Amino acid sequence: MIGIVVGIAVLWDKMVLTQEKINSNKIVTFPFPTNKEISFQGDFILVNKDSEVNVYSSRCTHLGCKINQHSNNQLLCPCHGSTFGLDGIPTKGPAVLPLKKMKFEIDKLSDMITITT
Ligand code: FES
């Protein structure tokens, strides 16, 4: 009987934690690097090119390594060699899916960027 109660308690706890994870949006705010065309900011890649800003997840869509380098307008995954254009589209595999595009806002007065995950 105690085992059943403990089992139900564990399942309930997992259900609550899962629901909290689904409902939680992470909001990250930091200074927008206005002078850089490509900027790696932890979990994000900021591309500021041709008067257009895009923000992508830095997680490679192959197996999730953090993309942290660029060369010749290509974002480079250090793990298995995938490359992505500055539009987030893969240009060389093994990754086949584009980088996740993030929602963001830039406060022009303070030059702060807020990214919602
Ligand atoms: S994780 Fe990026 S290429 Fe494999």
Query: Which structural domains are found in the chain, ordered by start?
Result: 26-116 (2.102.10.10)
Q: How far is the CA of 44 from the centre of ligand 1 (A)?
A: 16
Q: Is the pLDDT of residue 19 over 80?
A: no
Residue 64 falls in which region: left (phi positive, over 0), alpha (psi -120 to 50) or beta: left
| 76-111 pLDDT tens trace | 999 999 999 999 999 999 999 999 999 999 998 999
Cβ-proximal residues to 45 (8 Å cutoff; 6+ apart), any chain: 38, 39, 55, 56, 57, 58, 67, 75, 99
Task: Give, for ligand 1, the residue of 80, 83, 99, 100 to mutate: max count of ligand atoms closer than 8 Å to Cβ.
Answer: 80
| Residues pairing with 14 in the sheet | none
pTM value? 0.76
Distance 67 CA to ligand 1 centre (A): 8
Say which residues have a Cβ less than 8 Å from residue 2's Cβ, sequence separation at least 6.
Answer: none
Share of the chain above pLDDT 90, in %: 62
- Specify the pLDDT at position 33: 85
Categorize the per-residue pLDDT at 24 as very low, low, confident or very high, splitting at 50, 70 and 90.
Answer: low
